[in-house]
């Protein structure tokens, strides 16, 4: 009984590790080699978690990119104002 539980836990951890590696590398998930190790529901949950984290990453990236763009525009405007003030 304990051996079976430990084996199942090990298999679930392998699947989670595979998902985390894919998240870190922005790789594609391929759980076909894990089909026999865990329940389909667990694998589907890992896939859903991967996609939600990827969407969150994209949202953060777009947010930070827009903040960077806005800061660059403000910098450019400030630089132009300084030039106008120093010419006058």
Spatial contact of 50 and 22, defined as CB atoms under 8 Å apart: yes
Spatial contact of 38 and 15, defined as CB atoms under 8 Å apart: yes
Rounded Cα distance between 4 and 15, Å, is 17
Task: List the single range of 16-20, 40-44, 63-67, 72-76 with lowest mean pLDDT.
Answer: 40-44
CA 60 to chain CA mean position, Å? 9
Taking every pair of Cα atoms in the chain, the longest distance, rounded to a whole number of angstroms, is 85
Q: What is the pLDDT of residues 7-55, one digit of tens each?
A: 888 889 999 999 999 998 887 888 887 767 778 888 899 999 999 999 9
């Amino acid at each position: 009984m304990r051996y079976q539980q430990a084996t199942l836990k090990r298999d679930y951890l392998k699947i989670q590790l595979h998902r985390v590696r894919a998240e870190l590398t922005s790789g594609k998930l391929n759980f076909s080699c894990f089909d026999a190790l865990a329940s389909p529901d667990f694998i589907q949950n890992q896939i859903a978690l991967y996609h939600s984290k990827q969407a969150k990453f994209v949202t953060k990236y777009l947010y930070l990119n827009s903040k960077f763009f806005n800061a660059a525009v403000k910098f450019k405007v400030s630089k132009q104002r300084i030039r106008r003030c120093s010419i006058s």
